Amino acid sequence: MRPVLLIAAKDLRQRLRDRSAIVIGIVAPLVIAGLMAMAFKGTESFHFKLALVEGDNGPAASGLVQALQQPALRRVITVVPMATATAASDAVRANRAQAGLVIPAGFSASVSAARPEALTTLTNVNDVTAANVVSSVATSFVAQLNADRLSIATAQAAGATPATAIEAAAARLTIPEAVVQRPVGARELKPISYFSPAMAIFFLLFIVGYTARSFFVDQGQGMIERIRVAPVRPLQIMAGKALSVFAFGVTSLATVAIVTSVGFGADWGSPLAATAVGVAMVISVVCLTALVIGLSRTRRQAEGFSSVIVFGLALMGGNFVFLSQAPALLRHVALFTPNGWAMRAYTDLSTNGGGLRTVALPVVAILGFSAVVGAVAASLASRAVTS
């Protein structure tokens, strides 16, 4: 065991003296996580201003105004009254309002006509979401208005309903609610809570290339041969390298988790469960590092293999995008990667809470991946050290 510890300590001293290792392992994840969280911050909640021109003042128009002031819509829309359509258009163009709605004069009086006055929506191509919301509200209101017009016209044809009843019905209209949006789980997933572990894991994968490269540097300088003269078995050399990777990886993840939680408000979930996922993820990185060393014959080959692994896993595992918003194919592919399972675990912890039971399946999946990769790496260890 002593040779393993000495080799691990030597590698850790080298890594701590190398500023690039500190930047990749700690500084870069914090910076990138913060930047990506700020970029996605607007997706946490949605609210916009609606420039409303009420040029009718009739019962149908009053029904639409009341519909816009329903509690469900007030959480999304702030109505800003405007005197004219020109003023509303200027407000949307200047981004003082993100969308507009014009109720023309005579709208209420025209609802009983064959072709009633049309509502006009004012939208901005730079705010598609607000445009879609306003168009949906106007379309829903008109659809229900037309349904009432049809039912009353049918009653009129039978001689049962006076013509003025449609205006009274229009004043009582509400926007029909077909879908209620609710966040999955007990809490909403904040961008910082997703991208903090995502970036921490992404840069954790860079340890694969860094360690493999340092192995071949040591080999080129004759250090591996001098260690073997001690004598030290090839598996002990690989174990020492693996232990240094494990120690640095755990330190990197823990540092990013603490800083983003305290400084940025990221929610990693239960500390015990988050640690279990992190340790499992570091073990997979250790096994991947051993695999790259075992497969490679030169430093250049190691750099090539590690680059493919790092960026391949990051792209497939959802480190750059919300997996919940990714195509179904990517969500399924992510389950073949350790980082994909880790992101699933951290997302569940952040939204649903829970402890070890919440992350039991992801941890088992990551360790299963590590066992397969580690078995292949172990079979190549002797050849890597002796070549």
Measured between alpha carbons, how far is 196 from 257 in angstroms, rounded to an integer? Answer: 7
Measured between alpha carbons, how far is 256 from 333 in angstroms, rounded to an integer? Answer: 26
- pLDDT, position 71: 77
Residue type, 139: T
Question: Among 135, 150, 148, which Cα is nearest to 59's?
Answer: 148
Place of tokens 């540092």: 255
Measured between alpha carbons, how far is 61 from 141 in angstroms, rounded to an integer? Answer: 10
Q: How far is CA 188 from the centre of its chain?
A: 11
Q: What's the token pair of residue 326? A: 């990714």
- pLDDT, position 178: 42
pLDDT tens over the chain, length 387 residues: 677 787 778 777 777 777 777 777 778 777 877 776 666 555 445 678 888 998 888 887 888 888 787 777 777 888 888 888 899 888 888 888 888 888 888 887 776 665 667 788 888 777 777 888 888 888 887 777 777 666 666 666 666 555 555 555 545 555 444 434 444 445 677 888 888 899 889 988 988 888 888 888 777 777 766 766 666 776 677 777 788 888 888 988 888 888 888 888 888 989 999 999 999 999 999 999 889 888 888 888 888 998 999 999 999 998 888 877 778 888 889 999 999 999 999 999 988 888 899 999 999 999 999 999 988 888 876 665 555
Q: Could you tell me if 119 and 138 are in contact, meaning their C-beta atoms sit under 8 angstroms apart?
A: yes
Q: Could you tell me if 242 and 286 are in contact, meaning their C-beta atoms sit under 8 angstroms apart?
A: yes
Measured between alpha carbons, how far is 341 from 334 in angstroms, rounded to an integer? Answer: 7
Residues 6+ positions from 45 with CB-CB distance below 8 Å: none
Q: The whole model's pTM is what?
A: 0.63
Q: Could you tell me if 33 and 259 are in contact, meaning their C-beta atoms sit under 8 angstroms apart?
A: no
First to last CA, the chain: 24
What residue segments make up the domains of the chain, in order of their start?
2-41+190-386, 47-171
Checking 126-135 for CB contacts under 8 A at 24+ apart, the result is 126/95, 127/48, 127/98, 127/99, 129/46, 129/48, 130/48, 130/50, 130/98, 130/99, 131/99, 133/48, 133/76, 133/77, 133/99, 134/50, 134/99, 134/100, 134/101
CATH class belonging to 47-171: alpha beta
Measured between alpha carbons, how far is 290 from 332 in angstroms, rounded to an integer? Answer: 27
- pLDDT, position 181: 46
- Please write the tens of the pLDDT for every residue from 1-57: 677 787 778 777 777 777 777 777 778 777 877 776 666 555 445 678 888 998 888
Measured between alpha carbons, how far is 356 from 128 in angstroms, rounded to an integer? Answer: 41
The sign one gets for the Cα dihedral 105, 108, 113, 116 is positive
Measured between alpha carbons, how far is 140 from 217 in angstroms, rounded to an integer? Answer: 68
Q: Could you tell me if 256 and 270 are in contact, meaning their C-beta atoms sit under 8 angstroms apart?
A: no
Q: How far is CA 379 from the centre of its chain?
A: 38
Q: What distance separates the 2 farthest-apart alpha carbons in the chain? A: 108
Cα-Cα-Cα-Cα dihedral of 324, 327, 331, 333, to 10°? -160
Cα three-residue angle 210-211-212, rounded to 5 degrees: 95
Side by side, which strands form the sheet with 120-123? 77-82, 48-54, 99-103, 120-123
